[in-house]
Amino acid sequence: MRLTLTEEQRELSTMLRHLFADACPPALVRKMKEPGSDGIPTDLWKTLAKAGVFGIAVDDQYGGEGAGLFELGLVFAEAGRALCPTAVYDTLGFAVALARLGSAEQRAAYLPRLVAGDLRATAAVGNPSDAADLRPGLVAQRTGDGWSLSGTLMFVGNGATAETILVTARASAFPEPERTIGVLLDPARDGLEVTALSTFAGDKQARIELHDYRATDAEVLDRPSTDDLAWVANALVALQCMEMVGGATAVLERTVDYVKVREQFKRPIASFQAAQHHVANMRIAIEGARLSAAQAVWWLGRGDVARRAVAIAKMHASEAYKWTTLTAHQLHGGMGYVRETDLHLWSERAKVTEIKGGTADVAAGWLQRELGLAR
């Protein structure tokens, strides 16, 4: 047990912080959220690929660095600080899902391209509002030597621009019992209709509707275990929690910077005890989120499904990020309320991530099951 970062981990975080500060300024974030934007930061993408970010947790046989999920968590934390466009998270999440669920051939087909920065992808595993609900949103019928998929998926992250989408489906192949399969979808194929959703945060989510979409066996991730699927869903939540911790920390820092220079009654408002207590409360909440998120991503990195740790991390991260932004608005007053100051960009991301995967109430339900208090 040793809850401090290693020298290597610290260096990685520092490198990433500089990289995102340079390549992902608020102006880019703002541009990506505009209604006309496709949400793909082309130059940032190249920079990230060049720095090896897409391959950090990918095995070296696919061109990656072979570091663990924990290190990928450090990437999410630094990306979260800078409000990195979500297409990056979704592509990284796809790699995590495929590495756990895919066959060697499937991994070899996608991961090297992804590592090189040449693939935009996303994963939609289970209920986007409750990560522990793994019931597939699609059904798949055996048809000859392939599959026919139908159904609707809501809130697929960057579903309108992804070049491949990893989904799950309830598979019927008479006379075998029903089972869950994974499928790698090609959005360009017939039978798949993508509708971009308009969200208040301007992040890119899509509704995907399938009518007799045809998939081959080579595109199917067969017989993933319940634990495999739960691990993937939990890994995506835990990585998002790391992102949220990074975002909350950035908000805390910019808020402290502001109250130190904002003067009222001839003194900086940072010198008022009420302001200091707001800051202390933000810091304490973020500490809890930071430690619990790191714990979750660490156990997942060890292969553990980590249901308890993930529930705890999501409970803390959801509330800490949201309340940090809301308290930041209070401390900024009007200066944080106008759109030209950037605070609202974090506030919007905090609200989306609070709900995505499950609110604190939803995650508390997972924890109640772990404690044997609920089914």
Partner 1 sequence: MEFELDDDQRAWREEVRAFLAENFSPELLTLRKERGYESNDGVLLDFRRKVGEKGWFGLNWPKEYGGLALGPIYQHILVNEFEYWGAPGPDLTVTSVAPMIMRNGTEINKQEWLPPIARGEITCAVGYSEPNAGTDLASLRTKAELDGDEWVINGQKIWNSQAHVASHEWLCVRTDPEAPKHRGISVIMVPIDTPGIEIRPLITWDGFRTNETFFTDVRVPRTNLIGEVNRGWQYITGALDLERGALTNAGDLRRAVDEIIEASRLVRSDGTRPMDNPDVRRRIAQLEADVDVAVLMGMEAASLLETGGIPTVAVTAEKIFSSELRQRIADLGTQMLGLDGVLSGSDPFAVPGGGFEKLYRSAPLLRFGGGANEVLRDVIAQRGHGMPGYGR
Residue in this structure with the two tokens 């992102």, named with its chain if needed = 243
279 binds partner 1 (CB under 8 A): yes
Q: Report, in Å, the least distance between residue 319 CB and partner 1.
A: 10
The partner residues of 142 in beta bridges, in order of sequence, read 147
- CA distances from residue 301 to 123, 269, 282, 304 in whole angstroms, order as listed: 19, 43, 28, 7
Beta carbons within 8 Å of 266's beta carbon, 6+ residues apart = none
Virtual torsion, Cα 202, 207, 213, 219, nearest 10 deg: 50
131 binds partner 1 (CB under 8 A): no
195 binds partner 1 (CB under 8 A): no
8 binds partner 1 (CB under 8 A): no
The footprint of partner 1 on residues 228-267 (CB under 8 A) is 252, 256, 259-260
Q: Distance (Å, rounded) from C-alpha 222 to C-alpha 155? A: 24
368 binds partner 1 (CB under 8 A): yes
Among the residue ranges 80-88, 146-154, 284-292, 327-335, the one whose residues contact partner 1 (CB under 8 A) = 284-292
Q: Report, in Å, the least distance between residue 344 CB and partner 1.
A: 22
16 binds partner 1 (CB under 8 A): no
Q: Distance (Å, rounded) from C-alpha 207 to C-alpha 252? A: 34
40 binds partner 1 (CB under 8 A): no
Residue in this structure with the two tokens 């995505």, named with its chain if needed = 356
**Binding partner 1 by CB under 8 A: which of 276, 341, 342, 344?**
276
271 binds partner 1 (CB under 8 A): yes
Query: Are 279 and 252 a contacting pair, CB within 8 Å?
Result: yes
152 binds partner 1 (CB under 8 A): no
The size of the interface with partner 1 (CB under 8 A), counted in residues, is 46
Phi, psi for residue 354 in degrees, rounded to 5: -55, -40
Q: Report, in Å, the least distance between residue 62 CB and partner 1.
A: 25
The footprint of partner 1 on residues 97-116 (CB under 8 A) is none
Query: Are 251 and 328 a contacting pair, CB within 8 Å?
Result: yes
**Binding partner 1 by CB under 8 A: which of 19, 44, 98, 367?**
367
Query: Are 253 and 145 a contacting pair, CB within 8 Å?
Result: no
Which two three-digit tokens encode residue 311? 């529930």
Of residues 300, 171, 298, the one with CA closest to residue 224: 171
Which two three-digit tokens encode residue 37? 């934007």
Whichever of 217 and 287 has its CB closer to partner 1, that residue is 287
The footprint of partner 1 on residues 302-331 (CB under 8 A) is 302, 311-312, 315-316
**Binding partner 1 by CB under 8 A: which of 144, 273, 340, 375?**
273
Q: Distance (Å, rounded) from C-alpha 97 to C-alpha 231? A: 9
**Binding partner 1 by CB under 8 A: which of 50, 287, 333, 335?**
287
Q: Report, in Å, the least distance between residue 39 CB and partner 1.
A: 32
Among the residue ranges 23-31, 81-89, 167-175, 366-374, the one whose residues contact partner 1 (CB under 8 A) = 366-374
Which two three-digit tokens encode residue 27? 């102006």
167 binds partner 1 (CB under 8 A): no
**Binding partner 1 by CB under 8 A: which of 88, 171, 275, 310?**
275
Query: Are 193 and 160 a contacting pair, CB within 8 Å?
Result: no
Which two three-digit tokens encode residue 49? 């690929």
Q: Report, in Å, the least distance between residue 313 CB and partner 1.
A: 9
The identity of residue 176, as a single letter, is E
What single DSSP character describes residue 60? Answer: G
Q: Which residues bind partner 1 (CB under 8 A)?
A: 1-6, 9, 70, 252, 256, 259-260, 268, 270-273, 275-277, 279-281, 283-284, 287-288, 291-292, 294-295, 298-299, 302, 311-312, 315-316, 361, 364-365, 367-368, 371, 373-374
